[in-house]
Amino acid sequence: MPHVAATIQSAIDLFPCGLVVTKRNERTIVAANQHFYDLCPLQPGSSASISAIFTNASRIMLESYVMPLLLSKQQCDEIQLSIEKENGERLPVLVNARITTEFPELIHWVITAAKQRDELYQELVNLRNHLEYKAEVFSNLARTDELTGLLNRRAFIENAEILIGDAQRQQRPYAFFMMDIDNFKAINDRYGHDVGDRVLRDIANIFKPNVRDTDTLARVGGEEFAIVAQVQSAEHAKAYAERLREAVSAESVAGIQVTISIGLATSKQHSLSQLFKHADKLLYAVKNTGKNQVMLTAL
């Protein structure tokens, strides 16, 4: 029989996880396989309490959660604790435990190192974060004008529709600004498209600090920019447009004196497409009456 017992112990020692049997009340170790001792700081044959192998935080978890659950349900599955090694290293482990009807005074434990699982989990978390970041980047690229960094036409329409819907529900006036760089074709023809691109970027950078965070600003065409904003009144919208026009006129853009023309439509009930149509007509009228002006219609 001693030979049989030794054979069984040798077989148990081959298991790639810690197998432990402890007393139910004291939790002192009655038997364990070699893998258990490879995981923890105890020596084979030790009769210490199983709680001795864990970190302080894991001991609290063991006494306040694992043991009450085990004693009431007779089993506890996949609880993550940490073993404290002799060198102070902390090893994450998964703990499963059972109390059987055949041996009610004993607790049978299976302890498995979870370090690789934790590393894999962290890799998956990092991969997920990276994919979420890439998705956000691609989403922003799909909504952003590459040259100026402003919203593109598609994103502008989406945001403007939301802003107008909110204003209509609150019965507040809103305005559509259609803005066009004067003589832009002549700038491209005279100075080249590189300078023309710089003018577009510089104009966008002038607009940005002069437009409120609550407004929607975009580049909607070649040299055309647009804004949708909630306003207090038509007069307030006209003053807002004049400030933008003057801000551009006051700057030397790419070393060139540049001006803009603005068609402006305000309303409390009209749709974005209706405002767009009216503002575009006014912009065309401005272009034919001297440029560098603001023309308003209150619908």
Which active-site residues does the annotation give?
Answer: 223
Tokens 């819907």 sit on residue = 165
Q: Which of 167, 161, 180, 176 is nearest to 296 (CA)?
A: 176
Contacts by 234-239 with C-beta closer than 8 Å and gap 24+? 234/173, 234/175, 234/266, 234/296, 234/298, 237/173, 237/175, 237/177, 237/264, 237/266, 237/296, 238/264, 238/294, 238/296
Q: Residue 137's CB: how many other CB atoms inside 10 A? A: 10
- What is the SS3 assignment for 224? strand
Strand spans (E) along 50-191: 75-84, 90-98, 106-113, 174-181
